[in-house]
């Protein structure tokens, strides 16, 4: 078969696979798999990090759900291909995209700190130990892969194919936010805190899809951005002790609106990179 014809056949096959995927089945499976972790969080009064109950170990549920469904689609070959996407950094052809992937969320936290200072909020002096952030990053990166192999590696592409990038990212962001509500409640967060954090979560998913689409659909890039967001939050300014989701939600929402206006809601990326 000529190379061009083979490429067309492979693209057609990929499109058929994406169309056959059910986002609803994936989401229901993720929530079903999360129930034991939520029950464990209710019974075990233990925090992995400040504000992170035992139920946060449910980070593995999206990848487990994705692996189950991929196995049904393509058996072990599909499972292998999905897991390989954990370090698909070769997809990131324009290295300039590492800048927002790595620096955007720390930048949001620095800006939030400055705004809170201007508003007169009492804040401790930031502390930047060397070892703790490195261990925190490794932990959060593993957790981010557990999530993004599912959210980005499995379900976002069929959602984008059906509804476009912006609508898909908002829908997935709402699911992602709802999935976090039980751990937030178990961490004794207030209703207002949870509401603002959910808005921040939805806006962050828009930014995640924007970066995913512009880095050759790299799961590695999505997981790296995800991990940097968590690390930044827990370093604000001391293990997230003064983190304010109201300001975080406003800043990330502004960023999400900005990238939507510049890159367009349909693809959140130029045509050739999406």
Under 8 Å CB-to-CB from 101, ≥6 apart: which residues?
A: 211, 215, 221, 224, 225, 228
Q: Using 50, 70 and 90 to split pLDDT, how confident is the model at 124?
A: confident
User: Per-residue pLDDT averaged across 1-20, rounded?
Assistant: 50
User: Per-residue pLDDT averaged across 98-124, rounded?
Assistant: 94
Tell me the pLDDT tens digit for each residue of 234-264: 888 887 788 999 999 999 999 999 999 999 9
CA distance 124 to 106: 18
Q: Which residue has the higher pLDDT, 253 or 4?
A: 253
Q: What is the DSSP string of 148-199?
A: HHHIIIIIHHHHHHHH-HHHHHHHHHHHHHHHHHHHHHHTT--HHHHHHHHH
Task: Give me the pLDDT at residue 273, please.
Answer: 59
User: Per-residue pLDDT averaged across 109-125, rounded?
Assistant: 91
Q: What is the pTM of this model?
A: 0.92
Q: Is the per-residue pLDDT at 8 higher than 50?
A: no
- The kind and range of the H/E element at 49 are strand 47-49
Under 8 Å CB-to-CB from 19, ≥6 apart: which residues?
A: 158, 161
Contact at 8 Å (CB) between 231 and 137?
A: yes
Task: Give me the pLDDT at residue 17, please.
Answer: 67
Tell me the pLDDT tens digit for each residue of 186-235: 999 999 999 999 999 999 999 999 999 999 999 999 999 999 999 999 88
Q: Which residue has the higher pLDDT, 17 or 63?
A: 63
The alpha carbons of the chain give a radius of gyration, in whole angstroms, of 19
User: Per-residue pLDDT averaged across 143-155, rounded?
Assistant: 98
The full set of domain ranges for the chain reads: 3-263
Task: Give me the pLDDT at residue 35, please.
Answer: 98
CA distance 29 to 250: 31
Burial 41-70 (b: 16+ CB within 10 A, else e): beeeeeeeeebbbbbbbbbbbbbbbbbebb
Angle at 81 between CA 74 and CA 154, to 5 degrees: 75
Task: Give me the pLDDT at residue 47, please.
Answer: 87
User: Per-residue pLDDT averaged across 27-56, rounded?
Assistant: 93
CA distance 274 to 212: 9
Q: Is the per-residue pLDDT at 7 higher than 50?
A: no
CA distance 113 to 213: 30
Indicate the average pLDDT of the chain: 91
Q: Read off the DSSP letter of residue 97.
A: G
Q: What is the DSSP string of 108-122?
A: HHHHHHHHHHHTT--
CA distances, 191 to each of 143, 194, 227 (Å): 25, 5, 25
């Amino acid at each position: 078969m000529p190379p061009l014809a083979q490429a067309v056949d492979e693209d057609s096959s990929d499109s058929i696979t994406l169309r056959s995927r059910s986002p609803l089945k994936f989401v229901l499976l993720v929530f079903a798999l999360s129930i034991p972790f939520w029950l464990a969080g209710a019974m075990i009064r233990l925090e992995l990090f400040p504000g992170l109950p035992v139920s946060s170990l449910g980070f593995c549920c999206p990848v487990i759900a994705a692996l189950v469904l991929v196995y049904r689609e393509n058996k072990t070959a599909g499972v292998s291909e999905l897991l390989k996407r954990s370090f698909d950094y070769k997809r990131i052809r324009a290295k300039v995209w590492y800048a927002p992937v790595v620096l955007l969320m720390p930048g949001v936290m620095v800006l939030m700190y400055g705004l809170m200072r201007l508003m007169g909020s009492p804040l401790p002096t930031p502390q930047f130990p060397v070892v703790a952030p490195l261990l925190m990053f490794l932990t959060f990166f593993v957790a981010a892969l557990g999530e993004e192999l599912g959210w980005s590696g499995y379900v976002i592409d069929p959602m984008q194919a059906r509804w476009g990038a912006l609508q898909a990212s908002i829908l997935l962001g709402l699911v992602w936010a709802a999935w976090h509500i039980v751990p937030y409640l178990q961490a004794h967060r207030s209703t207002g805190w949870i509401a603002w954090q959910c808005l921040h979560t939805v806006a962050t998913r828009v930014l995640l899809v924007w970066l995913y689409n512009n880095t050759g659909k790299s799961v590695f890039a999505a997981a790296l951005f995800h991990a940097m967001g968590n690390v930044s939050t827990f370093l604000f300014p001391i293990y997230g002790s003064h983190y304010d989701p109201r300001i975080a939600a406003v800043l990330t929402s502004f960023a999400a609106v900005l990238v939507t206006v510049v890159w367009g809601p349909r693809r959140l990326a130029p045509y050739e990179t999406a």
